[in-house]
Amino acid sequence: MLDNLKLRTFVLPNRIMVLGGYGNFGKRISKALAAKGIDVLIVGRSFEKSERLATEIGKSATPLCFDVPGELGAFLAVHRPDAIINTVGPFQHQGYETARIAIAHGVHYVDLADGREFVCGISELDASAKKAGVAVISGASTVPALSDAVVREYRGEFSSLEQMRYGISPGQGAERGLATTQGILSYVGKPLSPFPSIKKRVFGWQNLYRQFYPGLGNRWMANCEIPDLDLLPQRHDIKTIQFSAGLELAPLHLGLWAMSWVIRFGVPIKLQNFAGPLLKISNWFNGFGSSDGGMHVLLSGKSASDPKTQIERSWFIIAKDGDGPHIPTIPAILLAQRIAGGDGPPAGAYACVGLVSLTDYVTELQDKKIEVVTQSR
């Protein structure tokens, strides 16, 4: 009997629990992991939605419905996943209770957070994560994982990296999540914490400019707050940094910019509380836009081969036909695959920088309608 028990334990497939597993990013992660032969536990507030996705995926997916974090510990004890992937945002005002429960049960933890304070503060769990022998990784998404990978790819071309100017502009028709919308609205019109900027004071969704994307044309951009503002200047010795986001349709982008001035002038409105209705209104305009979006990274500084020469490197990733939302999911997919394969990142709690190479990132997207464009001068 004992031998049979040991055998069953040995042949159990690798297993990943995805919190928010049928959401905008969660469903893409769940499907990708299942396609790699990894068992997926799809967790959500609706068993019906979780079951529907599990049925679509097949026998490698299990639907679950329980309260997070209230019942998480009990379900970890029963299902014993190798790791948790947390896609349940917005993370801007969350604590680390979910990560602490994962640590207590010896389970690796990965999230897709883009909240600046949340991602940068995850290191407070470092000692307990190391003691438990698990990795606790925050920010396994486009920022800071992809943005850091781009800088690492080209940093050697510069003796001095003077400016990093970059941003993301999704297509109007691409699927948008409520949590992402809530996160952005939480800092619109509010002063951002200091960082190495060209301006003394920076406010959310202000400092408008137009950015050209190959194959897409010009898009309006405005300030956003992300963990990169603290992480990347320190890691790569970047003198000034600016991150922006943009909506494809000018009326919607400029309308939010107008709201930022209302907040900046002191009107006590919590825009994040209206995220649902505003997202619904935004969707009314989908027919006027496309499902094509992109990300740009513009680096400038002194050449490594000739420090007297100023050089620039421009990097773009362009997503067509609604494939843009796959891009933020890649770091979590790659990390989960490594963990399930027994080659996970080192124990400790840290931001997702230096963990995913640009080559691996782009390779994972090769079956999507996504193209990378680089320029230099």
Which pLDDT tens digit goes with each residue over 235-286? Answer: 999 999 999 999 999 999 999 999 999 999 999 999 999 999 999 999 999 9
Please tell me whether residues 137 and 25 are part of one structural domain.
yes
Task: Tell me if 201 is assigned to some domain.
Answer: yes
The yes-or-no verdict on residue 191 having pLDDT over 70 is yes
Please tell me whether residues 183 and 124 are part of one structural domain.
no
Please tell me whether residues 147 and 267 are part of one structural domain.
yes
Please tell me whether residues 302 and 188 are part of one structural domain.
yes
Q: Is the separation of the CB atoms in 17 and 43 below 8 Å?
A: yes
pLDDT band at 288; cut points 50, 70, 90: very high
Please tell me whether residues 352 and 320 are part of one structural domain.
no
- Which of 129, 154, 99, 164 is closest to 376 using CA atoms? 154
Provide the whole-model pTM.
Answer: 0.93
Task: Tell me if 361 is assigned to some domain.
Answer: no
Please tell me whether residues 150 and 270 are part of one structural domain.
yes
- The average pLDDT across 62-73 equals 95
Task: Tell me if 276 is assigned to some domain.
Answer: yes
DSSP label at residue 204: B
- The average pLDDT across 195-210 equals 95
Enclosing domain of residue 86? 2-141+326-356
pLDDT score of 177? 79
- The average pLDDT across 355-371 equals 97
Strands 209-213 and 310-319: unpaired
- Span between the terminal Cα atoms of the chain, in Å: 70
pLDDT score of 175? 82
pLDDT score of 7? 35
Give tens-digit pLDDT for 308-326: 999 999 999 999 999 999 9
CATH number, domain of 111, equals: 3.40.50.720
pLDDT score of 13? 55
- The average pLDDT across 72-87 equals 97
Q: Is the separation of the CB atoms in 312 and 199 below 8 Å?
A: no
Burial (0-12, 13-18, 19+ Cβ within 10 Å), 277: exposed
pLDDT score of 176? 81
pLDDT score of 1? 35
Please tell me whether residues 175 and 208 are part of one structural domain.
yes
pLDDT score of 92? 84
Residue with the bigger pLDDT between 24 and 178: it is 24
Total domains in the fold of the chain: 2
Please tell me whether residues 302 and 176 are part of one structural domain.
yes
Element (H, E) at 56: helix 47-57
How far apart are alpha carbons 315 and 54 in whole angstroms? 37
Please tell me whether residues 318 and 205 are part of one structural domain.
yes
Please tell me whether residues 116 and 257 are part of one structural domain.
no
Task: Tell me if 342 is assigned to some domain.
Answer: yes
pLDDT band at 15; cut points 50, 70, 90: very high
> What average pLDDT does the chain have?
94
Strand ranges (DSSP E) for 304-369?
Answer: 310-319, 348-351
Task: Tell me if 310 is assigned to some domain.
Answer: yes
Task: Tell me if 362 is assigned to some domain.
Answer: no
Please tell me whether residues 75 and 183 are part of one structural domain.
no
Please tell me whether residues 243 and 108 are part of one structural domain.
no
pLDDT score of 6? 38
Task: Tell me if 31 is assigned to some domain.
Answer: yes
Report the 3 state secondary structure along 118-152. HHHHHHHHHHHHHHHCCEEEECCCHHHHHHHHHHH
CATH number, domain of 193, equals: 3.30.360.10
Task: Tell me if 97 is assigned to some domain.
Answer: yes
pLDDT score of 12? 44
